[in-house]
C-alpha cells in the first residue's frame, strides 16, 4: 500500500509540474463549459424580429400594429416588431436578414372586418426560419381568429332570429382564449454552464486518465520502469499508484468546475452528496474505459491517439457536444450505453428533479459497473505492460 | 535548392508521415465525416419549437387543439403523462412550453371556466414564443364555441341550438384567412440537411488538425531535423516556405476530402466553385499558420497535443462551428469576430445558403488573409530566430 501511495504522490507531482496536465484537468473543461454554456445553454437566446406592413392604415389595423409594437418593446421579449413601408421593403428586409418573417395587412382590411366581409392576411417567411414563420403566422391567426369569431357570432345571432348586433356589443364577446392560466414550470431549470461543466469534465477525464498508459510507455522507454521494478514495489502497485494519481487529478478538476460554475456563474448542480458520488462514479467509469483503451497502446503517442478517438466517439454518442434536450430519441437511447450518457442523465436528474443519491442509484451502479469491468481488464493489461 | 523544390520535398514528407499514421488518418478524415453524419442527420438546417401536451385526450376540444398544434409548421408536439413530466422536460430544455388540459375541457369551456393552463419557464424566452403558437391553435378551435355561447347569451337561445346554428354557418361566413408565402430564390428549398454541419465541421477540423500538426514541428525541432536541414545550403526562408507549404497541403487535402464527401455523399451545394476554392485555400493557410505558430511557441509535444484540441474546439464554438451564428447572443457575436472561424463560417454561409459569389465574400476572405499573414509571419520570425541561434 505504501508503494501505491508513493507512486501516486510522485505521479501527481509530475502531473502538476507538467502544466499541460493541469490544462487538461482544470482549464480546458472550465473554459469549454463556460463557452458552451453561453452558446448552447438552452433557448434563452432565441429571439426573432417580425416585420409588419400596414397597407390599410385604418383604425382597426393601427390598433393591431400599435399593440404588437408595444408588446415587442416590453423587457425580455423575444419578439421584436419592425414596421415596414411596403411589400418590396419587406422582401428586401427578409433577404438581408433584418427581419425573420413579415406580416402584411392589405389595403381595405379594416373596412372589410367592420362589415363582416372577412379578409386576407399574408405572412412572408424565409423557409430557413420555420420557427419565425410560425410565430408570425400565429400572431396573424390570433388576430384573424378574433375577427372571425365575432363575425360568426353576429351571423349566428341573426340566424337565431335576433337583429344584427353592433360592433360595441361584439367587442364584449368573451373569448375562452383569454382565460388561459399561465403557470411557471415547477422545479429547478437545468443550468447550461453546469450541464456543459459535466459534459466537458467527462470529455477531458479521458485525456487525463490516458496519462497512465502514456506514462508507462514513456517510463519503459527511458528505463525508469526497470528501476522501479528493481525495488520492492509490485507491478500492480505501480499501476495502481498511477491510476490513483490521475483519478485524483480528474476528480479535482471535476470538483473545480463544480465550484467555479456554482460560485462564479450561480449554476445549480443539486444535492451535494449526490453530486460528489456521481462525480466519483463517473471518474471510475471513464477511468476504466480509458484504462481499457489505452491498454492497447505501445507508445505514448498511441495511448493519446486511441484515447482521443474513443473520447470523441463516446462524447458524440453520449451527447456531450449537444445542447440539453436537443438530442433525438434514438441518440438519447444510444447515449445510455455510454458512461457519458449515464453520467449526464444522473447529473441532470440531480439538478432538475432534485434527485438525491437514492434517485440516481441505478445510474451510479451502471457507472461503477463500467469502471470495474473495463478498468479491471485495463489494469491487467497495464500490469502486463509494466512487466513486459 | 530552390524554394519550390524545397517546398515540394517538405510537402511530400508531411504527406508520407500522415499516411503512415493511422490514428492521424482517423482524425483527419474519419472523425469529421462521422460528426457530419451524426449532427446532420440529427438537426438538419431548420429548427423546431417543441410544445408539450398533458391530457390531449380529455374531450373533443382538447383533441382538436392538439391536432391544430400538430399541423403547425416548425412545431413538434410531445405528449406527457403528467405535469411533473412536462415540468421536467421544460427544465431540461426538451420543450419550450406546454399545455395542461383540464379534466373535462368541453365542460370547462361551456361553463366559461379556464380549460387549460400554459406552462413554461418564465425566464426562458422560448416559452413566450411557444405561448403564441398555443394561443393561435386554441383560438382556431375555440372561436366557433365562443361565438355560439355569445349568441346564446345575447338571444336567450339555449347553447346547443346556438352551437348547431354556428356550426351550420361555419365556412359560409366570410373569415379572415391567413396565407403563407415563402420568399427567396428557392435555393433554400433544395438545400441538403447537411448544408450547415458540413461547412461547420470543415472549418472546425481543418483548424484543430492544423494545431495538432504543430506537435510534428515540435518533434522536428526536438530531434534536430531542422538544424540538420540548416547545415546544408538551405536558408531559413526556404525552410519556412517549405514548412508553410507542407502544413497548408495537409489542411488543403483534408478540406478537399470533406468538400468532396460533402458534395457527393451528402448532397451539399458548396456554392460558386471559384469562391469556394479561394476560401478553402485561404483558410488552409490560416490553419497552417496557426499550426506553425503553436509548433514554435510551445516547449514540448505533450503540451501541443493536449492544448491544441481544446483550443481548436473553443475557437470553433466561438466561431459558429457548433451553433449557427444567427442564434449567438449579441455579446458573444462581438467576441466571435476576433476568431478566424467566424469569418470562415460567415463566408461559407453566404456561399452555401445565399448562393453568393466571390465578390460577396471578399470582406471575410480579406480578414482571413490577414489572420494567415499574422500567424505565418509570427511563426516565421520566431522560427528564423531559433534556426539562426542553432
Distance from CA of B316 to the nearest CA of A (A): 10
Residue of higher predicted confidence among B11 and A363: A363
In terms of average pLDDT, the best of A132-136, A366-370, B46-50, B263-267 is A366-370
Please report the residues numbered 135 through 154 in chain B whose beta carbons come closer than 8 angstroms to any beta carbon of chain A: 135-140, 142-151, 154
DSSP state of B119: E
- The side-by-side arrangement of strands in the sheet containing A48-54 is A79-84, A48-54, A101-105, A119-125, B176-182
Look at residue B364 and tell me whether its pLDDT is greater than 70. yes
Strands (E), B165-293: 176-182
Query: Is-contact B272 B357, C-beta < 8 A?
Result: yes
Question: Does B19 contact A at CB distance below 8 Å?
Answer: no
- List of chain A residues whose C-beta atoms are within 8 Å of the C-beta of residue B309: 308
Distance CA A147, CA A153 (A): 10
Whether A131 and B129 lie within 8 Å, measured CB to CB: yes
CB neighbours (10 Å) of residue A185?
24
Residue of A nearest to B110 (CA): A176
Distance from CA of B216 to the nearest CA of A (A): 12
Query: Is-contact B99 B59, C-beta < 8 A?
Result: no
Pairing of strands B49-54, B176-182: unpaired
What distances in angstroms separate CA A349 from CA A36, A187, A189, one per listed residue?
A: 20, 11, 11
Q: Which of A44, A144, A180 sits opposite B177 (nearest CB)?
A: A144
How confident is the model over B75-96, as a mean pLDDT?
90
Q: What average pLDDT does chain B have?
A: 85
Distance from CA of A294 to the nearest CA of B (A): 13
The pLDDT value recorded for residue B302 is: 67
Confidence of residue B387 (pLDDT cuts 50, 70, 90): confident
- List of chain B residues whose C-beta atoms are within 8 Å of the C-beta of residue A191: none
Residue of higher predicted confidence among A145 and B47: A145
List the single range of A4-13, A257-266, B118-127, B275-284 with lowest mean pLDDT.
B118-127
In terms of average pLDDT, the best of A234-238, B3-7, B24-28, B80-84 is B80-84
> What is the 3-state composition of chain B as percent helix, strand, coil, each rounded to the nearest 5?
70, 5, 25
List the single range of A176-180, B227-231, B254-258, B351-355 with lowest mean pLDDT.
B227-231
Q: Which of B48, B144, B155 sits opposite A157 (nearest CB)?
A: B155
List the single range of A217-226, A254-263, B93-102 with lowest mean pLDDT.
A217-226
Distance from CA of A125 to the nearest CA of B (A): 5
List the single range of A293-302, B166-175, B261-270 with lowest mean pLDDT.
A293-302
Question: Does B178 contact A at CB distance below 8 Å?
Answer: yes
What distances in angstroms separate CA A59 from CA A192, A381, B199, B228, one per listed residue?
A: 45, 82, 49, 85
In terms of average pLDDT, the best of A266-280, B132-146, B158-172, B189-203 is A266-280
The secondary structure element, H or E, covering residue B76 is: strand B75-80
Whether B314 and A157 lie within 8 Å, measured CB to CB: no
- List of chain B residues whose C-beta atoms are within 8 Å of the C-beta of residue A18: 302-303
What distances in angstroms separate CA A101 from CA A83, A130, A258, B164, one per listed residue?
A: 12, 9, 41, 38
Question: What are B177-190's pLDDT values in tens digits?
Answer: 888 888 866 666 67
How many residue contacts between A and B have a Cβ separation below 8 Å?
360
Distance CA A348, CA A196 (A): 11
List the single range of A199-203, B193-197, B323-327 with lowest mean pLDDT.
B323-327
Whether B155 and A177 lie within 8 Å, measured CB to CB: no
pTM listed for this prediction:
0.73
Distance CA B51, CA A288 (A): 40
Distance CA A136, CA A121 (A): 11
Question: Does B175 contact A at CB distance below 8 Å?
Answer: yes
Distance CA B162, CA A35 (A): 59
Interface test with A, best of B18, B127, B146, B148 (most A CBs within 10 A): B146
Whether B173 and A151 lie within 8 Å, measured CB to CB: yes
How confident is the model over A72-79, as a mean pLDDT?
75
The pLDDT value recorded for residue A43 is: 43
The pLDDT value recorded for residue A259 is: 93
Distance CA B332, CA A192 (A): 15
Whether B121 and A122 lie within 8 Å, measured CB to CB: no
Distance from CA of A10 to the nearest CA of B (A): 19
The pLDDT value recorded for residue A215 is: 79
Distance CA B252, CA B206 (A): 8
Distance CA A337, CA A344 (A): 12
Look at residue B14 and tell me whether its pLDDT is greater than 80. no
Please report the residues numbered 209 through 268 in chain B whose beta carbons come closer than 8 angstroms to any beta carbon of chain A: none
Closest among A285, A284, A274 to A349, alpha carbons compared: A274
Strand partners, B181: A124
Look at residue A255 and tell me whether its pLDDT is greater than 60. yes
Question: What are A174-188's pLDDT values in tens digits?
Answer: 888 888 888 888 878
Residue of higher predicted confidence among A290 and B160: B160
Q: How many Cα atoms sit within 13 Å of B335 on the Cβ side?
A: 14
Give the SS3 label for residue B161. helix
Buried b (16+ CB within 10 A) or exposed e, A124-152: bbbbbbbbbbbbbbbbbbbbbbbbbbbbb
Closest among B111, B152, B162, B143 to A175, alpha carbons compared: B143
Distance CA B354, CA B141 (A): 38
Closest among A122, A123, A109 to A60, alpha carbons compared: A109
Q: Which of A125, A207, A331 sits opposite B182 (nearest CB)?
A: A125
Residue of higher predicted confidence among B296 and B218: B296
Whether B310 and A126 lie within 8 Å, measured CB to CB: no
Question: What are A85-143's pLDDT values in tens digits?
Answer: 999 999 989 888 789 899 999 998 888 888 888 888 999 987 767 778 878 888 888 88
Q: Which three cell numbers stand for residue B244?
A: 508553410
Confidence of residue B390 (pLDDT cuts 50, 70, 90): low
Distance from CA of A252 to the nearest CA of B (A): 18
The pLDDT value recorded for residue B47 is: 59
Within chain B, how many helices (H) and strands (E) appear?
17, 5
Distance from CA of A231 to the nearest CA of B (A): 29
Question: Does B37 contact A at CB distance below 8 Å?
Answer: no
Strands (E), chain A: 48-54, 79-84, 101-105, 119-125, 181-184
What distances in angstroms separate CA A323 from CA A253, A279, B180, B368, one per listed residue?
A: 22, 20, 31, 29
Question: Does B62 contact A at CB distance below 8 Å?
Answer: no
Interface test with B, best of A105, A130, A156, A196 (most B CBs within 10 A): A156
Question: Does B189 contact A at CB distance below 8 Å?
Answer: yes
What distances in angstroms separate CA B51 from CA A139, A362, B75, B102, B201, one per listed residue?
A: 17, 30, 7, 17, 30
Percent of all residues in chain B with a pLDDT value above 70, rounded to a whole number: 92
- List of chain B residues whose C-beta atoms are within 8 Å of the C-beta of residue A97: 326
Residue of A nearest to B72 (CA): A134
For A70, counting Cβ atoms within 10 Å of its Cβ (0-12 exposed, 13-18 middle, 19+ buried), the class is exposed
Amino acid at each position: 500500500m505504501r508503494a501505491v501511495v508513493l507512486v501516486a504522490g510522485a505521479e501527481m507531482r509530475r502531473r502538476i509540474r507538467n502544466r499541460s496536465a493541469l490544462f487538461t484537468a482544470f482549464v480546458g473543461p472550465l473554459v469549454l463549459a463556460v463557452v458552451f454554456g453561453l452558446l448552447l445553454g438552452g433557448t434563452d437566446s432565441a429571439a426573432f424580429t417580425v416585420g409588419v406592413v400596414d397597407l390599410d392604415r385604418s383604425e382597426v389595423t393601427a390598433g393591431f400594429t400599435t399593440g404588437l409594437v408595444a408588446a415587442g418593446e416590453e423587457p425580455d421579449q423575444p419578439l421584436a416588431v419592425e414596421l415596414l413601408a411596403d411589400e418590396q421593403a419587406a422582401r428586401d428586409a427578409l433577404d438581408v436578414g433584418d427581419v425573420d418573417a413579415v406580416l402584411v395587412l392589405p389595403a381595405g382590411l379594416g373596412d372589410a372586418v367592420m362589415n363582416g366581409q372577412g379578409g386576407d392576411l399574408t405572412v412572408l417567411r424565409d423557409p430557413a426560419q420555420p420557427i419565425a414563420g410560425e410565430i408570425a403566422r400565429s400572431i396573424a391567426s390570433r388576430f384573424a381568429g378574433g375577427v372571425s369569431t365575432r363575425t360568426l357570432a353576429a351571423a349566428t345571432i341573426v340566424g337565431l332570429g335576433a337583429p344584427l348586433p353592433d360592433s360595441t356589443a361584439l367587442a364584449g364577446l368573451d373569448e375562452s382564449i383569454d382565460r388561459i392560466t399561465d403557470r411557471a414550470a415547477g422545479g429547478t431549470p437545468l443550468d447550461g454552464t453546469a450541464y456543459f461543466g459535466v459534459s466537458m469534465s467527462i470529455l477531458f477525464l479521458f485525456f487525463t486518465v490516458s496519462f497512465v498508459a502514456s506514462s508507462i510507455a514513456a517510463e519503459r522507454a527511458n528505463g525508469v520502469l526497470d528501476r522501479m521494478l528493481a525495488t520492492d514495489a509490485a507491478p500492480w502497485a505501480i499501476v495502481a499508484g498511477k491510476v490513483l494519481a490521475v483519478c485524483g487529478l480528474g476528480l479535482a478538476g471535476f470538483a473545480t468546475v463544480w465550484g467555479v460554475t456554482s460560485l462564479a456563474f450561480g449554476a445549480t448542480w443539486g444535492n451535494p452528496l449526490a453530486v460528489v458520488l456521481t462525480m466519483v462514479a463517473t471518474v471510475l467509469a471513464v477511468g476504466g474505459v480509458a484504462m481499457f483503451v489505452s491498454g492497447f497502446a505501445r507508445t505514448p503517442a498511441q495511448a493519446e491517439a486511441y484515447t482521443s478517438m474513443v473520447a470523441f466517439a463516446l462524447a458524440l454518442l453520449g451527447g456531450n457536444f449537444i445542447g440539453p434536450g436537443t438530442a433525438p430519441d434514438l441518440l438519447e437511447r444510444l447515449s445510455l450505453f455510454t458512461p457519458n450518457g449515464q453520467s449526464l442523465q444522473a447529473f441532470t436528474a440531480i439538478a432538475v428533479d432534485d434527485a438525491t443519491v437514492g434517485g440516481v442509484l441505478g445510474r451510479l451502479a451502471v457507472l461503477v459497473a463500467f469502471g470495474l469491468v473495463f478498468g479491471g481488464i485495463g489494469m491487467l493489461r497495464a500490469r502486463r505492460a509494466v512487466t513486459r | 535548392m530552390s524554394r519550390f523544390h524545397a517546398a515540394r520535398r517538405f510537402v511530400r514528407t508531411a504527406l508520407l508521415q500522415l499516411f503512415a499514421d493511422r490514428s492521424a488518418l482517423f482524425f483527419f478524415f474519419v472523425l469529421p465525416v462521422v460528426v457530419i453524419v451524426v449532427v446532420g442527420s440529427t438537426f438538419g438546417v431548420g429548427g423546431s419549437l417543441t410544445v408539450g401536451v398533458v391530457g390531449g385526450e380529455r374531450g373533443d376540444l382538447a383533441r382538436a387543439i392538439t391536432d391544430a398544434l400538430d399541423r403547425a409548421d416548425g412545431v413538434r408536439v410531445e405528449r406527457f403523462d403528467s405535469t411533473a413530466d412536462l415540468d421536467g422536460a421544460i427544465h431540461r430544455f426538451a420543450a419550450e412550453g406546454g399545455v395542461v388540459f383540464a379534466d373535462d375541457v368541453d365542460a370547462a369551456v361551456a361553463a366559461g371556466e379556464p380549460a387549460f393552463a400554459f406552462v413554461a419557464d418564465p425566464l426562458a424566452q422560448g416559452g413566450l414564443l411557444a405561448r403564441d403558437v398555443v394561443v393561435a391553435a386554441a383560438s382556431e378551435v375555440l372561436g366557433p364555441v365562443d361565438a355560439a355561447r355569445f349568441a346564446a347569451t345575447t338571444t336567450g337561445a339555449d347553447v346547443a341550438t346556438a352551437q348547431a346554428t354556428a356550426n351550420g354557418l361555419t365556412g359560409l361566413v366570410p373569415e379572415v384567412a391567413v396565407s403563407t408565402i415563402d420568399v427567396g430564390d428557392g435555393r433554400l428549398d433544395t438545400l441538403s440537411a447537411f448544408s450547415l454541419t458540413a461547412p461547420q465541421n470543415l472549418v472546425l477540423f481543418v483548424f484543430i488538425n492544423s494545431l495538432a500538426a504543430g506537435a510534428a514541428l515540435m518533434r522536428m525541432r526536438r530531434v534536430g531535423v531542422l538544424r540538420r536541414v540548416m547545415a546544408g545550403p538551405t536558408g531559413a526562408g526556404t525552410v519556412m516556405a517549405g514548412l508553410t507549404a507542407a502544413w497548408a497541403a495537409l489542411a488543403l487535402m483534408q478540406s478537399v476530402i470533406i468538400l468532396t464527401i460533402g458534395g457527393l455523399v451528402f448532397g451539399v451545394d458548396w456554392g460558386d466553385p471559384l469562391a469556394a476554392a479561394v476560401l478553402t485555400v485561404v483558410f488552409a493557410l490560416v490553419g497552417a499558420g496557426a499550426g506553425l505558430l503553436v509548433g514554435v511557441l510551445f516547449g514540448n509535444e505533450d503540451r501541443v497535443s493536449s492544448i491544441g484540441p481544446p483550443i481548436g474546439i473553443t475557437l470553433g464554438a466561438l466561431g459558429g462551428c457548433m451553433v449557427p451564428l444567427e442564434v449567438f447572443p449579441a455579446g458573444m457575436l462581438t467576441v466571435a469576430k476576433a476568431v478566424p472561424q467566424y469569418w470562415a463560417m460567415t463566408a461559407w454561409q453566404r456561399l452555401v445558403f445565399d448562393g453568393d459569389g466571390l465578390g460577396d465574400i471578399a470582406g471575410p476572405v480579406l480578414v482571413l488573409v490577414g489572420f494567415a499573414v499574422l500567424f505565418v509571419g509570427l511563426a516565421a520570425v520566431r522560427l528564423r530566430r531559433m534556426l539562426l541561434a542553432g
